[in-house]
Structure 1
Amino acid sequence: MTTSREWEFAGSRGAVTARIWSDGEPRYVAVLVHGYGEHLGRYEHVADALVRHGAVVCGPDHMGHGRSAGERVLIEDFEDVVADVHTVAGSARGDHPGLPVVMIGHSMGGLIATRYAQLHGGGLAALVLSGPVVGRWGAVERLLALDEMPDEPIDPSTLSRDPSVGKAYTEDPLVWHGPFKKTTVRALDAALRRVNEHGSLGALPTLYLHGEDDRLVPPGDTRAGIEAVRGDDLTERIYPEARHEVFNETNRDEVLADVTAFIDRVLGRR
């Protein structure tokens, strides 16, 4: 049975809480990178599927998110978040030397994971991006133009066709339900520009997943970013009628099967 434990380290801007799931002898490391306003505890079922597939799974709650320290959802520079993810990945490598590392980033976590791959891609065997905030994000452009951030919580129905997902999200005390911070919006804008300008991920095998009916991070916004960073080995899956959180969608089993099949293909070539 999959077991998990939490641990804490001194992050870039304060204490960061990380989590690790394991069972038996793993054949690869999977690093999960969560999205804006949420926390890694929402990925329990993803971690369980990956552990059953042969992974040891780990990841942090980003600064200002979940159980980590800091003002809620305040990020001044996403390079600091990348550095914290690097600490978690480095710890996993130290505990499991020689195992290939796969990074999986969702939404804002896709932006963080892409930047990580640009800086540290030599240490990754593969990258998985789910509804990633890359290219442009209309929400950021709209918020940048405002003096005051509107207090408009995310419509939970945009997350998944499964209503229980939205209900759990709304009732989760570790999820941020308040407005964006202007500082975070500026940092998102800077990170998007930085990633777009950096260029290709080269030979790194990359799996891009997106819900066709994603109204939070529309596929059209993401497309330019994927084209800017795509390398020599890009696999793409666009799921008809699926919304933003494809790992929580009604076809979640299909999505997770696509992820594990992709990982098997990459590991089989090593």
Structure 2
Amino acid sequence: MLPELFYRSWVPQRSKLTLVTLHGAGQHSGLFRDLGTHCSQQSIAVYAPDLRGFGQSKGKRGHVYSFLEYLEDLDHFIGHVRKIHPDDPVFLMGHSMGGTIVVRYGQERRSSVQGAILLAPALKIRPFIPKSVLYPLYVLSRVAPELSFDLTRWGKALSAICQFEFSDTISEDADPLSINRFTARWCTELLMNARQAMSRANQFRIPVLCLCGEEDPVVDPAAIEQFHNLLQVPDKRFLLLPYAKHRLLQDHNRQHVYEHIMKWLKERV
């Protein structure tokens, strides 16, 4: 059953393309506010849903039984946006976990979207998660899938999954819409789908721009470059941003990130 998804939108009077953006783990659509405002001033309509179980959308907090639920939600949301903008080309953008969803959507649904922007997609989490942590996690995913825990208290190996840097954690007190508790099933679904995204890279046939930070402490830039190199789509671009970390849209260099995004989109309209 599809939950009701809350979403934010930034829509100009006349749009020439529509961008659907997906946030990362623990976050919500509000983090696209500045980008949405910037894009709308460039005649680009931006729609940013809160993923199920995040932000103001319905669903158990930080939980899915299957990653396919995210793909189904995205499919229906794109259909909703197309009804509003029937003449616009539609592009996707995903940050971190949102990037993984975009990749898996492109692999599974063979969507008719015109392109995708991947911002530090969670294709390989770092630091490496040892088997001593993974084994009990997969057991819990089978026997107690809805058991939730605070990943920031499990050390760097698991806290990286929810993209929180210890030095820069978004606390629930500072942002009540953010979360850092996730279920065992959610964790294993993210990890399994990140592996599938990499192993099935040749099935992703959408024009794509991949951006990642040189100093990203959460996802491995080398894995993102490897994914890019494995793609069999001719229209692809990989950019490694010097000194940038994980949250590219909140980074001190975010204006450069905006410029890369806008240039790439405008070249394809």
Q: TM-score, normalised by structure 1?
A: 0.82
What is the DSSP-based 3-state SS (H/G/I as helix, E as strand, rest coil) of the residue aligned with 1:123? Answer: coil
Counterpart for residue 262 of structure 1: 264
Q: Could you say if the C-alpha distance between residues 151 and 34 of structure 1 is closer, same or farther in structure 2, counting changes exceeding 3 Å?
A: closer
Tell me, in whole angstroms, the C-alpha distance in 2 between the residues paired with 1:137 and 1:227. 19
Give 1:32's match in structure 2, choosing from 11, 14, 21. Answer: 21
Amino acid at match of 2:125: W
What's 2:36 paired with? Answer: 47
Q: Tell me the equivalent position of 1:162.
A: none
CA distance in 2, matches of 1:70, 1:31: 21
Return the match for 2:191 from 183, 189, 192.
189
- Quick check: 1:156–1:169 contact (8 Å CA) kept in 2? no
Counterparts of 1:170-185 in structure 2, within 5 Å, are 171-178=174-181, 180-185=182-187
Q: Give the corresponding residue for 1:83.
A: 72
Aligned to 2:45: 56
Aligned to 1:206, which of 188, 205, 208? 208
Partner of 1:145: 135
Q: 1:185 is aligned with what amino acid?
A: C
Distance 1:105 1:212 in 2: 18
SS in 2 for 1:173: coil
What SS is found at the alignment partner of 2:268? helix
In structure 2, do the counterparts of structure 1 residues 109 and 167 end up closer, same or farther at CA, with 3 Å as the change threshold? closer
How high is the sequence identity, in percent, across the aligned residues? 24
Structure-to-structure mapping, 1:99-138, within 5 angstroms: 99-134=88-123, 136-138=124-126
Give the drift of 1:188: 1.1
Gaps of 5+ in 2: 141-148, 154-158
List runs of 5+ in structure 1 lacking aligned partners.
Answer: 1-10, 159-165
> Any conservation in 2 of the 1:207–1:262 contact (CA below 8 Å)?
yes
Paired residues of 2:165 and 2:218 also in contact (CA < 8 A): no
Local SS of the residue matching 2:256: helix
**Given residue 217 of structure 2, which amino acid in structure 1 is its aligned partner?**
R
* 199-208 or 36-45, larger mean C-alpha shift: 199-208
| Matched positions, count | 247
Counterpart contact for 1:217–1:244, Cα < 8 Å: yes
Distance 2:225 2:173 in 1: 29
> How many angstroms does 1:202 deviate by?
6.0
- What RMSD, in angstroms, separates the aligned Cα atoms of the two structures? 2.4
Partner SS for 1:227: helix
